[in-house]
Structure 1
Amino acid sequence: MSGNNSNTKKLTLLSLILMIFTSVFGFANIPRAFYLMGYAAIPWYLLSAILFFIPYAFMMAEYGAAYQNETGGIYSWMEKSVGAKYAFITTFMWYASYIVWMVNVSSSIWIPLSNAIFGYDKTAEWSILGLNSTQSLGILAVIWIIIVTYVSTKGVEQITKITSVGGSAIALLNIVLLIGGITVLALNKGILAQPIEDIAKSFTNSPNPAYQTTISIFSFLTFAIFAYGGLEALGGLVDQTENAEKTFPKGVSIAAIVIAVGYSIGIFACGLFTNWNTVLSIEGVHMGNVAYILMQNLGFELGIAFGMAPQNALTIGLWVARFTGLSMFLALSGAFFTLTYSPLKTLIQGSPKEIWPGNLAKIENGMPLTAMKVQAIIVIVLILLISFGGKGAAEFFSLLVAMTNVAMTIPYVFLAAAFPSFKKKQLKGQVSQPFVVYKTYTVSLVATIIVSLVVAFANIFSIIEPALSGKTIDTVMMIGGPLIFSLIAFLLYNSYEKNYKDR
């Protein structure tokens, strides 16, 4: 009986594919991709799946399988593969990317809330004490950080229920997008809202004026790579998979194809009911609200296609936008509460306690309470610096998204770069081999070079592109965060080496 129960708990090929899909696939990536590149986003998403998703996922799977009994997560992987200092700096950079994510989401979460209440984005009209909308959103973001940090220190059991509801609603959004787009296309007798006049041109050239140069087009690669983020979590799934040696590689490969095709179909579906120049080129559309504007347009176009009067069709659009806003708000809220403590706790528990000054390493009631308060202060300072930096809403949200993409993808280079050292130790028998995809050192080295170059290449273009457009401060902000946090990590570890390690 116990054997049967054990088998039922193992992930089958289908359940593995579904778990990878739900961990990686993000609805918001679709409208943002269409907004930035139109149909031309599709080749980049497919290329990223081949050159990044698949090889990187197999690396994370091998790490996770070999170190499945370690509690430190990616810190343990790096420490045992390269060394403690490399592990700490890499993990600190990985953690810092969530700091940037919190700055981004705490400022932009008010857009889905506005859509949930009003059916459209009213944040551009909001003002607190005479401040402009960007500054007002910054103040709201500060209040949000304080509330979330306080609640998280008290326990987040109820928040997980919000997360699951929001996650289910977002899964439904993907279905609404696809079926809605096909319905509009059918009722419009096969006429695409975003026409394809020349296949080669439509799938290589962006309708967005900001993405016409070679550098700006290449910078889009960070968006495509970011869309496949979260693969570090796959490492823990290997030992839960039935017949992992055969099932896991097959599952990852199929999931990569399904996700890449899913993104591609989703981006194409946007063009079935949205004309870029008519809907997305107007003033007020930006990275923060494009998903809601696009979904509102889907509802409107469905109403028109069914023969409704424009006013009634607009009402349908508002309700679709409300559903989209509520779904995104619940999902982002749940994720925010979790990410307020989870990455920080991983970093602190994985690294030596002596690295952390004062009571930062102290865990109370399962939470790093002191560290969470310090984290909140850092996030608040960054929010105020960026929101009061004199940018309009469109520039503000574009910068936040770009900073998040760069911060969250740079650590991938270091995680991949450690893989040859890991493989060398594994081949020497110094590391267990419960699951192996890369059979030789040469193959693992080639995979590492491909992944590292793709991610580095994408980030270099993302970082330098604003400077070439006269936005030097944006370039400084994008590269400054990772550099400053890396320097902090380096100084913390050096202090630890001098004071503790050599004793």
Structure 2
Amino acid sequence: MKKISKTKMSKFAFFSMTASLFITVYEYPTFAMSGKSLIFFLLLCGVGWFLPVALCSAELATLEEYQEGGIYSWVGKSLGEKYGFAAIFFQWFQITVGFVTMIYFIIGTISYILEIPELNNDPIFKFISVVSIFWILTLLQLKGTESTSKLAKYGFSIGIVLPVFIMLILAINYFLSGSQISTSFTQSSFVPKLHDASSLTSFVLAYMGVEASATYFSKLENPQKNYPKLLFILVLVGILMSTIGGTIVSMVLSGNISSNQGVMDAITELVSPNNISWPVKLMGLLISFGIIAQVSSWIVSPTEGLQFAATKGLLPESLAIKNRNQVPVKILLVQAIVVTFWAALLTFGSRGAGGNIAFQTAISLTVLIYLSAYILIFISYLVVLLKHKDLKRDFEIPGGKGVKLAVSLVGLLLSIAAVSTAFIIPSSIPKQNGVIYLVLLSACVIITLSFPFVFYYFYSITNQKKLQKRSSYNL
């Protein structure tokens, strides 16, 4: 077997790392609600959003003087430090909401296979479960991330790829044996109708996170040749897996599909209708393991940006301190507290309206926060394209200025469209709970988008001046 230099990343390692950032199972029920339109949405977002994000991020990541600090430098050097801080904050903060979304799915799955509906429907049980799972996984990180990386690798293979493959085989057998395709799927159209526009946010979420791999561009083997190829393969794999999973759930189930238990409902129907048999429980455990591994792998990853911000004086210096295992303990503790807050707000904020409203609010909020960072990335790219075209870079979008402009504008416009559609009440939420959804989502978005700018004005500027004075005294 060919040896790979420690300073270089193999194509398979790069592919696996990037795929594990955005390919997941917990969104399949949300996809399924769109029927045949899920294929249209996944193609639209894959080609019109996923590729622009990946390509623009790759070019920004390899720009001279833009490489340190990731998204902070990409945005900060183009638009100003406060926007760079906001972007890095949004990139980190979205995952604190995303953690709740993922753990909601785990709880829904566990409550299903254990046949304890109270675990998923009772707000108190649900809150305790979310907090317990996350804090346990956080504490496990303090011993280092080596075991976490292994868990993520096996979790992706065993808990995501394998279940989807098994579901595909089961579905083929299910329909060949004479079972009927759900009318919810057959009566839907490939091109979505206007009232289906709210689904766009969920499909954008299916590809979020790919920009994180752009920072490893220089470590990839022969990046100029391999990166575009890997991006193309990732788009195909991402679209294929999401389409297979979402389509199976949509074709098997009819009527209103549970956001956090729809996958298990579909598996039960495929394996043993009306009976939660041991194969169903085994599949539930595998999927839960896959999502737990994803949560675990995300816990430390987004904190690197916050550490960099702390070294610049934008955050307290103590947040950058790591323990002997190179883990930023204080940042992880702050992160766990924030996740606990979101768990309380989203779980109790739904006022017992059921699992769907909290789950859908968490998904929409995750998308809106992350999209705010992506919008800043696209604007920054346009600024670089129009004002700093002479900067040296190791990779650039092929085709010249016209193609670059088109790619970035398509990504920007689709991001803005996704933000707009997030405030359309999803069909999965009963009409009587629509106001709760909009109020809860709007309040969370306003607070989140305002926070980094308020914090920068009242803390970061003052702290930076103190550090400058202290530095001048030491000289």
The two structures share one fold, judged by TM-score above 0.5? yes
Partner Cα separation in structure 1 for residue 246 and residue 82 of structure 2:
42
Q: Could you tell me which of 246, 249, 273 is aligned with 1:267?
A: 246
Match in the other structure for 1:125: 118
Q: How much has 1:454 moved relative to structure 2?
A: 0.8
Q: Secondary structure at the match of 2:302?
A: helix
Residues 113-142 of structure 1 show CA distances to partners (whole Å, capped at 9, x for unaligned) of: 3345x3xx52x2349xxxx71222112223
Q: Do structure 1's residue 288 and structure 2's residue 237 form an aligned pair?
A: no
Which residue of structure 2 aligns with residue 374 of structure 1? 334
Q: For the residues of structure 2 that align with 1:442 and 1:369, how far apart are their CA atoms?
A: 46
| Match in the other structure for 2:473 | none
Q: Is the contact made by 2:156 and 2:293 (CA closer than 8 Å) also made in structure 1?
A: no
- Judge conservation of contact 1:142–1:383 (CA < 8 Å) in 2: yes
SS of match in other structure, 1:288: coil
Q: Is 2:360 the counterpart of 1:398?
A: yes
Identity of aligned residues (%): 23
Q: How far off its partner does 1:61 sit?
A: 1.6
Q: Partners of 1:408 and 1:499 in 2: how far apart?
A: 27
SS across alignment from 1:485:
helix
Q: Which amino acid aligns with 1:253?
A: F
Shift of 1:95: 1.0
* Change in CA separation of 1:10 and 1:347 when aligned onto 2, cut-off 3 Å: closer
Match of residue 377 from structure 2: 415
The CA deviation at 1:37 is 1.2
TM-score, scaled to structure 2: 0.84
Aligned to 2:217: 238
Q: 1:115 to 1:362 in 2, by over 3 A?
A: same
Residue in 2 that maps onto 1:203: 190
> Could you give the per-residue CA deviations for residues 212-270 of structure 1, whole angstroms, max 9, x where no partner exists?
x724x111011111111111123134334444334322332243234324433443344
What amino acid does structure 2 have at the position aligned with 1:141? V
Aligned to 2:167: 177
Aligned partners of 1:112 and 1:324 also within 8 Å: no
Q: Could you tell me how far apart the structure 2 residues matched to 1:409 and 1:341 are?
A: 21
Q: Alignment partner of 2:272: what SS?
A: helix
1:92 equivalent in structure 2: 89
Conserved? CA contact 2:76–2:83, under 8 Å = yes
Cα deviation, 1:296-353, whole Å, max 9, x if unaligned, reads 222126xxxxxxxx8xxx3xx5333322321232223233233333312322224544
Count of residues paired in the alignment: 459
2: CA distance, partners of 1:270 / 1:381:
32
User: What CA distance in whole angstroms lies between the structure 2 residues aligned with 1:319 and 1:237?
Assistant: 42
Q: Do 1:64 and 1:234's aligned partners in 2 also have CA atoms closer than 8 Å?
A: no
In the superposition, relative to structure 1, how do residues 452 and 8 fare at CA in structure 2: closer, same or farther (>3 Å)?
closer
Structure 2 counterpart of 1:110: 107
Q: Deviations over 1:345-388 (max 9, x none)?
A: 32222454422247334333323322332332232233223322
Aligned partners of 1:419 and 1:444 also within 8 Å: no
Question: Structure 2 regions of 5+ residues with no counterpart?
Answer: 470-475
Structure 1 position 444 matched with structure 2 position 404: yes
Residues in 2 aligned to 1:468 and 1:438: alpha-carbon distance in whole angstroms: 47
Gap change, CA 1:461 and 1:338, over 3 Å in 2: same
Shift of 1:92: 0.5
2:447 pairs with 1:488: no
Label 1:162 to 1:418 Cα distance change in 2 as closer, same or farther (>3 A). same
Whole-angstrom distance in 2 between the partners of 1:492 and 1:197: 47
Partner of 1:210: none
Aligned to 1:142: 131
Q: Please tell me whether the aligned partners of residues 45 and 203 of structure 2 are also in contact (alpha carbons under 8 angstroms).
A: yes
Tell me the residue number matched to 1:225.
204
Deviation digits for residues 51-82 of structure 1, max 9, x if unmatched?
11112211122123336994422222222333
1:304 matched residue in structure 2: none
Whether the 8 Å contact between 1:407 and 1:478 is mirrored in structure 2 is: no
Q: Distance in 1 between matches of 2:84 and 2:291?
A: 29
Separation in structure 1 between the aligned mates of residue 329 and residue 14 of structure 2, nearest angstrom: 35
Partner in structure 1 of residue 472 of structure 2: none
CA–CA distance in structure 1, aligned partners of residues 463 and 279 of structure 2:
59
Partner of 2:79: 82
Structure 1 residue 177 displacement after superposition: 1.6
Q: 1:103 Cα shift?
A: 2.8
Higher mean alpha-carbon deviation, 438-447 vs 45-54, is at: 438-447
Between the aligned partners of 2:334 and 2:9, the Cα distance in structure 1 is 40
| 8 Å Cα contact 1:92-1:485 kept in structure 2 | no
* Partner in structure 2 of residue 39 of structure 1: 36
CA RMSD between the two structures: 3.4
| Counterparts of 2:388 and 2:308, CA distance in 1 | 25
For structure 1, list consecutive stretches of 5 or more residues without a partner in the other structure. Answer: 206-212, 302-309
- Given candidates 301, 318, 321, the residue that maps to 2:277 is 318
When normalised by structure 1's length, the TM-score is 0.80
Structure 2 Cα separation of the partners of residues 356 and 418 of structure 1 = 23
Say whether 1:434 aligns with 2:402: no
Does structure 1 residue 363 correspond to structure 2 residue 356?
no
Deviation per CA, 1:419-446, whole angstroms, max 9, x where unpaired? Answer: 1123345522xx3221111554443333
